[in-house]
Structure 1
Amino acid sequence: MSEDLFKEAFLEAREEAAAEYKQEISEMGMALEKFFNNVLETISFNEKELMKH
């Protein structure tokens, strides 16, 4: 009986940990996307400025 409870608790903890990691990875992905968009905007802006001169 106690082995079943342990197994159930372990599986729940594993699912919670996986969900937390998925959330963190998703947030990191969104942050990276924002960063690269800013980099691309900066490059684009600098190219336009260079073309003016």
Structure 2
Amino acid sequence: MQTNLPDDSVNSIRYRIDFQSEDFQWQMKWAGQQFICQPGRGNQYWSKELCY
């Protein structure tokens, strides 16, 4: 996770991988990055939506 980035749009970025147990095996369900935007530049909570 990276926080307090010196960027006018993006405040924080995290990289995430979600797994789910199916039939006694772990299956990857999602992998990607999520963002928290600077105030007034988009989402203020973790989202895959890009900041503007």
Shorter-chain TM band: under 0.3
Return the structure number with greater strand share. 2
TM-score between both structures, scaled by the size of structure 2: 0.21
Return the structure number with greater helix share. 1
Larger radius of gyration: 1
Bigger relative CO (Cα 8 Å, ≥ 6 apart): 2
